[in-house]
Amino acid sequence: MENIIELSNVNYQIKNTILFKNLNWIIKKGSFVTLLGKSGVGKTTLLKLMTGEIKSDNKIKINGLYVKEENLFSIRSKIGFVYENPEQNLIADNVKDDILYSIPKGKYTYKKMEEMFQEIIKFLEIDHLLDKSTSQLSGGEKQLVAIAGILLRGAKLLLLDNSFSMLDTVTKNKILKKLKFLNRNQKLTIIYVTNDIEDSLYGNYIALLGEQKMSFFGKNNQAFKEEELFLKEGFELPFMIQLSTKLKYYNVVTKQIIDINKMVDEIWK
Amino acid sequence: MEIKLEDVSYRYHGEKKNCLNHINMKINHGEIVAILGKSGSGKTTLIELLASLRTPSEGVITVGNYIISNDITPNKNEFNFDVGVVSQFPEEQFLKKTVRKELEMEMKFFNYRLDQVEKRMKDALLMVGLEEKYLDISSSKLSYGEKRKLALASILVFNPKVLILDDPMIGLNQSDKNKMIHLLTMLKKRYHKTIIIATHDTEFIHKLVDYIYVLDDGKIVLEGDKYSVFQNEKLLQKCHIQLPKTIAFSQAVYHRRNIKIGYRDDINDLIKDIYRYAK
């Protein structure tokens, strides 16, 4: 699979604080990466460097193109960025207008747009929000509307900056499951910044951003072997991973089990 | 301070339906209370009523000696001195350029002596886990999580009796959350603060709450201490509230094997129980 994101020796500093020093990071097309890191370590900055919203030293490639002025239009047309604060994503007062606004003008017929709109509403199960104005929505509902608009744009790369932080866990898990579906079936590449390590179980790679560089980047299974590294950055491993590891240690189970019910059945056979 | 809501309803201007319906609550002095509910259930509106940012359409709210109703509102300055509020969007709360100015403003407003101001600022930052160097950083340059910590610090500087926190854990990672649990427990135990937290993060609150109200579609559908509330798995599921992981595990063991292994807050205690019952 080809690389969709390439960062080679990226340096970035704000005034006297060095945020990244010789940062290298390569992401293959079709990956679902959970990006973790302490608050203030530069996760949002890293995403914004990729979209060119923050200028860097031209060492970042997206889809084979360097992130610089003349390529920005082409790069951004492939990227969907959902901000942490949903207010930053919303434009129109009406929920439907807001979602439709993300389709470039004149690209599709009105009929086609309506079809795409209905499809995304059904996919995300958010028809109950349609008769509200965006200013009336709760924080979590705004985040849902924001993700609907971004998906409608048909982006190839989703950059999600803590985009589901205001959703309840049940709804969040539902959305993550749907994203995982798009990731598998449409080869959508996803970089998902979150503070909840439990979410990483939906993705297949984990990146742990430490001070100035990546502390870890690799497949989930490898990541879960590096407990010390994660604890150092303030993350306890997901609950079921911890439970599996500890129960394995006490010889209660023999393998790692993520599903609660299966775990119970395994312990009390 | 004791807080009471008697038959409180709220309707947004121009809406046909009540956003909050006949809410009754009683929060004792020095208690930590959680308001759980999914996105759009009315949590934030309820918080805004308690914070006297809105007035109820019907019913009466009493916060200590302050009364909030359709036609009575407390003196804003006095009320804000006793009741500290951190909203869901902390940046909306910031008015000044640097962290120092933001924190100073609050204290100057309440006429704190200047020689105390510096010390209080540093103490408050320390409590929320921000270093002293943050004082001279522009608040707009902070990350989302740091903004939330600053918002909390900006109410801790004037030492309110009641803390009202709208989803205080958004943007915080696990170690930040653990520090927040530690801080809130300390504020309760040592300073007897009354603390109200609106959230959907059961993993966070089950380690510290005394009492839980579950809000769904503008009504209180469930209330009680955490153990009694978390037993209503079906109702909670309907309200999109997930059980804390340790408790969910105990429930699964009970449902599938009819074994009661007890409710645990801590994963290590849970593992000891499993080990005991599995043998």
Distance CA B80, CA A106 (A): 52
Position B27 pLDDT exceeds 90: yes
- The helix (run of H) or strand (run of E) holding residue A176 is helix A169-186
User: What pLDDT digit, counting tens, does each position of B181-214 carry?
Assistant: 989 999 999 999 999 999 988 988 988 999 999 9
pLDDT computed for residue B133 by the predictor: 85
Helical pair B114-128 and B144-156, crossing angle rounded to 10 deg: 140
DSSP-derived letter for residue B53 is S
Contacts of A204 (CB under 8 A, 6+ apart): A31, A32, A33, A219, A220
What is the 3-state composition of chain A as percent helix, strand, coil, each rounded to the nearest 5? Answer: 40, 25, 35
Position A238 pLDDT exceeds 90: yes
Contact A252/B143, CB-based, under 8 Å? Answer: no
Lowest mean pLDDT among A115-124, B136-145, B239-248: B136-145
Residue A103 banded pLDDT, cuts 50, 70, 90: confident
User: What pLDDT digit, counting tens, does each position of A43-84 carry?
Assistant: 999 999 999 999 888 799 999 999 999 999 999 988 999 988
Position B171 pLDDT exceeds 80: no
What residues in A contact B16, CB-CB < 8 Å? Answer: none
Query: Which residue type, as a one-letter code, is found at position A77?
Result: S
Contact A85/B44, CB-based, under 8 Å? Answer: no
Position B116 pLDDT exceeds 90: no
Tell me what percent of the residues of chain A surpass a pLDDT of 70.
100
Tell me what percent of the residues of chain B surpass a pLDDT of 70.
100
User: What pLDDT digit, counting tens, does each position of A134-166 carry?
Assistant: 888 888 889 899 999 999 988 899 999 999 988
Contact B172/A169, CB-based, under 8 Å? Answer: no
Residue A94 banded pLDDT, cuts 50, 70, 90: confident
Helical pair A139-152 and A169-186, crossing angle rounded to 10 deg: 10
Contact A171/B275, CB-based, under 8 Å? Answer: no
Position B91 pLDDT exceeds 80: no
Compare CB distances from B200 to A36, A168, A265 and report the shortest one's residue: A168
- Residue with the bigger pLDDT between B97 and A3: it is A3
Question: For B208-234, what is the mean pLDDT?
Answer: 94
pLDDT computed for residue A262 by the predictor: 95
Position B109 pLDDT exceeds 90: no
Chain B CB within 8 Å of residue A104 CB: no
Residue B6 banded pLDDT, cuts 50, 70, 90: very high
Cβ atoms of A143 and B213 closer than 8 Å: no
Query: Which residue type, as a one-letter code, is found at position B39?
Result: S
Contact B88/A166, CB-based, under 8 Å? Answer: yes
Residue A267 banded pLDDT, cuts 50, 70, 90: very high
Question: For B78-101, what is the mean pLDDT?
Answer: 84
Interface of B with A in 18-77 (CB under 8 A): 38-40, 43-44
Q: What is the ipTM of this complex?
A: 0.81
What residues in B contact A169, CB-CB < 8 Å? Answer: 200-202, 240-242
Cβ atoms of B27 and B203 closer than 8 Å: no
φ, ψ for residue B122 (rounded to 5)?
-65, -40
pLDDT computed for residue A28 by the predictor: 96
What residues in B contact A44, CB-CB < 8 Å? Answer: 143-144
For the sheet with B66-69, list strands across it. Answer: B20-27, B3-10, B58-63, B66-69
Compare CB distances from B274 to A166, A239, A247 and report the shortest one's residue: A247
Compare CB distances from B89 to A85, A137, A265 and report the shortest one's residue: A85
Strand runs labelled E in A63-153: 65-66, 79-82
Residue A15 banded pLDDT, cuts 50, 70, 90: confident
User: What pLDDT digit, counting tens, does each position of A222-237 carry?
Assistant: 999 999 999 999 899 9
pLDDT computed for residue B225 by the predictor: 94
pLDDT computed for residue B172 by the predictor: 81
Interface of A with B in 160-179 (CB under 8 A): 162, 165-171
Tell me what percent of the residues of chain A surpass a pLDDT of 90.
68
pLDDT computed for residue B84 by the predictor: 92
- Residue with the bigger pLDDT between B217 and B141: it is B217
Chain B CB within 8 Å of residue A39 CB: yes
Q: Which of A179, A149, A170, A143 is nearest to A32 (CA)?
A: A179
DSSP-derived letter for residue A104 is P
**Chain A: nearest CA to B62, how far in angstroms?**
26
User: What pLDDT digit, counting tens, does each position of A47-56 carry?
Assistant: 999 999 998 8
Question: For B117-146, what is the mean pLDDT?
Answer: 85
Interface of B with A in 103-142 (CB under 8 A): 141-142
pLDDT computed for residue B162 by the predictor: 96
pLDDT computed for residue A86 by the predictor: 77
**Burial of B191 (C-beta count, 10 Å sphere; 0-12/13-18/19+):** exposed
pLDDT computed for residue A56 by the predictor: 84
**Beta pairing partners, A212:** A20
Distance CA B41, CA B19 (A): 8
Cβ atoms of B239 and B233 closer than 8 Å: no
**Chain A: nearest CA to B169, how far in angstroms?**
9
What residues in B contact A139, CB-CB < 8 Å? Answer: 39, 44, 88-89, 167
What residues in A contact B175, CB-CB < 8 Å? Answer: 38, 234-235
pLDDT computed for residue B158 by the predictor: 85
What residues in B contact A142, CB-CB < 8 Å? Answer: none
Position A198 pLDDT exceeds 90: yes
pLDDT computed for residue B147 by the predictor: 85
